[in-house]
Each structure stands twice: as C-alpha cells, then as structure tokens.
C-alpha cells in the first residue's frame, strides 16, 4: 500500500489559515482498492485545508473523468466528474474516538497527518450514477447501436427458453428499457 502514502497531508507544522495541496488520481489509485466500482480514470484533486486553533476545515475539489460501463450497450465510456466536498476535522485527547460522522472526522491529538485516500475513494465511488448510460447528458457518445441490436436478438432468441443464468437477467433488463 506504499502508493497510497502520497495521499497524506502532514498538518502538524501548518500555520493557521488556508493551505493548498494538489493530488492526482489515476488507475494506480483504484488498483489499491479491491472493491472499487471505479477501476479507471484520471482526476485532479485540489485540497484547501484551513487550519484553525482546534480544528481544520478541508475542502475538496475533484475534477476529471472516470471510465464506466454502460448498462445498456455494455461499452466503456468516459464519464465527467465534478465533485465538491467538505470535511471538518476535530482533535481529541482520548484514544477512543467514536463520534466520527460523515462530515466531522475526529482524529487523535497524536496524529500528524491526514490520510485523504479513503475520502477520495468514497467521494469518487459515490459519484457513480445508479443507472449508467453512455447517453447521459454531458457525454457526446451514444449507445453502440450494433451492440444493442446484437444483444436484443440474443434476448429474443432466449425468450422461449428457461435459462438459469444471471447474464440473461441483464439482457432482459436491456430489452425492457
């Protein structure tokens, strides 16, 4: 997991005020997460960290694209991603930290750096739409018509058979769309 170490921000020496950090996320990042929905992409991450006396406010600006697989024609296509997120970081003396929420991250006072890799992973995977269509607004590409035709004839041929194969469910879903 050495690769992910580059996504740590050492904040101990930072003065109060705003500090900027830039990161890049590409396939090597997604390779580190076995269960990532997103496997490929290229994104620029701009982090604005505001250090205050007893807390930090961290703003994320993530822009770029990820590759998704269209539910309908099964082709891979680039999907534009623009994410803005904010997290507030508080510090606590206690070793036992249990009130971490989605917006407030509580770190021990013994910590020296902020690991943003899990945050980036979560933000980017949450940007994946529930229904993935390569015809979605903002994309110039359309569903591959040849592929749709071939898939539909497969579905039509399979309609009269009883097939216990999850792939047929996918094909039926396509037909019903």
Q: How far is the CB of 146 from Zn ion (least distance, A)?
A: 11
Residues 33-52 that bind Zn ion (CB under 5 A): none
Q: Which stretch binds Zn ion (CB under 5 A): 37-45, 64-72, 149-157, 163-171?
A: 64-72
Query: Total residues at the site for Zn ion (CB under 5 A)?
Result: 5
Question: Per rule CB under 5 A, is residue 174 in the interface with Zn ion?
Answer: no
Nearest to 118 by CA among 100, 130, 131, 132: 100
DSSP H helices, 9-163, are 27-31, 117-126, 145-158
Q: How far is it, in rounded angstroms, from Cα 61 to Cα 66?
A: 15
Output 119 or 143, the one with its CB closest to Zn ion.
143
Taking contact as CB under 5 A, which single stretch among the options 10-18, 55-63, 68-76, 102-110 is the one that binds Zn ion? Answer: 68-76
Residue 43 or residue 72: which is nearer to Zn ion going by CB? 72
Which of these ranges, 24-32, 39-47, 66-74, 87-95, lies near Zn ion under the rule CB under 5 A? 66-74
List, in sequence order, every residue forming a beta bridge with 18; answer none if it has no partner: 50
Choice between 70 and 81, CB closer to Zn ion: 70
Minimum gap (Å) between residue 17 Cβ and Zn ion: 47
Binding residue for Zn ion (CB under 5 A) from 43, 70, 81, 117? 70
Q: DSSP letter for 5, please.
A: G
Residue 114's CB is within 10 A of a number of other CB atoms, namely 20
Tell me the DSSP string of 96-113.
Answer: ------SSEEEEETT--E
CA dihedral for 105, 55, 25, 135, sign (positive or negative): positive
Q: Cα(64)–Cα(83) distance, rounded to whole angstroms?
A: 9
Name residues contacting Zn ion, limited to 134-163 (CB under 5 A): 134, 143
Site of interaction with Zn ion (CB under 5 A): 70, 72-73, 134, 143
């Amino acid at each position: 997991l050495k690769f992910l170490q580059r996504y740590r921000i050492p904040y101990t020496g930072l003065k109060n005020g705003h500090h900027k950090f830039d990161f890049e996320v590409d396939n090597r990042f997604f390779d580190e997460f076995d269960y990532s929905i997103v496997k490929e992409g290229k994104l620029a991450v701009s982090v604005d960290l505001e250090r205050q006396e007893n807390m930090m406010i961290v703003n994320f600006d993530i822009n770029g694209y990820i590759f998704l697989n269209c539910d309908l024609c099964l082709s891979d296509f680039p999907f534009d991603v623009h994410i803005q997120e904010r997290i507030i970081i508080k510090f606590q003396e206690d070793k036992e930290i249990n009130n971490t929420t989605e917006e407030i991250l509580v770190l021990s006072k013994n910590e020296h750096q902020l690991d943003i890799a899990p945050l980036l992973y979560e933000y980017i995977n949450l940007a994946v739409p529930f229904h993935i269509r390569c015809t979605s607004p903002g994309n110039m590409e359309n569903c591959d018509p040849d592929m749709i035709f071939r898939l539909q004839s497969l579905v039509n041929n399979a309609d009269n058979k009883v097939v216990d194969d999850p792939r047929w469910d996918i094909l039926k879903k396509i037909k019903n769309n």
